[in-house]
Structure 1
């Protein structure tokens, strides 16, 4: 009887831990938006490529745009090379609960050749 209680307790604790991990680490949402690339950067030490984007067609110096900037990580450096600053793109990216956004699709608004990353 005592072993049964321990097994049930351990099972319940394991389920709680797994649910916590799934909810906080793995959970993502997706965003599709038309954006203008303000800046792109590559940090060699961390091998991190990213771009800073804002909604298109606005005054980049206004306070509103400063609050709406989004940093999107780019896994493939070749894709990062093709992205140009001050250009407008249709992007699709995943947002993790940790706050990290990762690019999954990008398409130049003026071009019909999209880059599918998955």
Structure 2
């Protein structure tokens, strides 16, 4: 009887930790909003993932770090132009992958 109680308690605690872990990893992300100058765009080797690379032109010189942003929508990818600056919102996930949430031309944003 005592061993059943211990086993049930261990299973309950394990399930609780698993749920907390999944929720923490699913919802842990940071939304960033900035201007973004596209320097490069492309696709992964298997063409399953579209991406753009660029930087925030308003960051101080020497701090303009180029980042890679994954674009989930193929139609959006077709509209993005290299060497153009956009107003973007992107999400940085816990695994350091960055996903495009929204993109607007600077003219549309003003």
- State the TM-score, normalizing by the size of structure 1: 0.79
Give the Å deviation of 1:43: 2.5
When residues 46 and 3 of structure 1 are mapped into structure 2, their CA distance, relative to the original with a 3 A threshold, is farther
What is the aligned partner in structure 2 of residue 98 from structure 1?
A: 95
1:25–1:98 contact (8 Å) kept in structure 2: no
| Aligned length in residues | 108
Cα shift readout 1:73-118 (whole Å, capped 9, x = no counterpart): 0011110010001111110111110011111110000235xxxxxx
When residues 25 and 46 of structure 1 are mapped into structure 2, their CA distance, relative to the original with a 3 A threshold, is farther
State the alpha-carbon separation in 1 of the partners of residues 32 and 26 from structure 2. Answer: 18
Which consecutive residues of structure 2, in runs of 5 or more, have no partner in the other structure?
A: none
**Superposition CA RMSD, Å:** 2.1
Alignment equivalent of 1:83, drawn from 55, 80, 83? 80
Cα shift readout 1:51-72 (whole Å, capped 9, x = no counterpart): 00101168xxx7543xx11111
What is the aligned partner in structure 1 of residue 44 from structure 2?
A: 43
Cα shift readout 1:25-61 (whole Å, capped 9, x = no counterpart): 5421211111111111123514110000101168xxx
Structure 2 counterpart SS, 1:33: strand
Structure 2 counterpart SS, 1:107: strand
Q: Please identify runs of 4+ aligned residues in structure 1 that moved more than 6 A.
A: none
